[in-house]
Amino acid sequence: MSRYSFTHTVSASPEHVWGEVSDHEGMAGWTPQRLPLPKVTLEQEGTGHRNGVGAIRRITLAGPPIRERITAFEPGKLLAYEALSGVPAKSYTGEIVLEPVGSGTRFTWTIDFQPAFPGAQVVLKLAIGTLARVLARRCNR
């Protein structure tokens, strides 16, 4: 298994960061400017909240779409998900944990997975690390 964590402290409140993290369709804005914007759609709504537990988001960029199901949804604190398809890994899970820090927020995005082929861990580490940096920049605006 491979495990990577990316931690950023931002000036935005936990409520603001949660608004970014829990807006699945808004994830398209997390892509670095040099890459084409992906299309993110909600295939299935969650229970109790549209973007909550059970929601399935579909991320289309290049190649097969990535499909992820939300497994934990605690507003202002935790969003967890599992990949259903489209990632070069088996048993891929991720979680974003928010913690208030002074007048800002620290968020930690952790991914766990078994690479599907040698080198897949490099691709996933780079992709999620980049998304976490872009999310931090968005939250510092």
- The model's pLDDT over 54-103, given as tens digits with 9 standing for 90+, comes to 999 998 877 789 999 999 999 999 999 999 999 999 999 999 999 999 99
Nearest to 140 by CA among 110, 105, 108: 105
Q: Which residues pair with 90 in a beta bridge?
A: 114
Q: What is the pLDDT of residue 38?
A: 77
Q: What is the pLDDT of residue 36?
A: 61
Q: What is the pLDDT of residue 37?
A: 62
If one compares 6 and 60, the residue with the highest pLDDT of the two is 6
Neighbours of 58 (CB within 10 A): 20
Which strands form 78-85's sheet, in the order they lie side by side? 2-10, 104-115, 89-101, 78-85, 66-74, 56-60, 39-44
- The model's pLDDT over 22-58, given as tens digits with 9 standing for 90+, comes to 999 888 777 665 556 678 899 999 999 999 999 999 9
Between CA 14 and CA 3 the distance in angstroms is: 25
- Please report which helix (H) or strand (E) contains residue 44, including its range: strand 39-44
- Phi and psi dihedrals of 21, rounded to 5? -65, -40
Between CA 126 and CA 89 the distance in angstroms is: 14
- The model's pLDDT over 112-124, given as tens digits with 9 standing for 90+, comes to 999 999 999 999 9
Q: What is the pLDDT of residue 6?
A: 97
On the question of pLDDT at 132 being above 80, the answer is yes
Indicate the burial class of 113 (C-beta count within 10 angstroms; 0-12, 13-18, 19 or more). Answer: buried
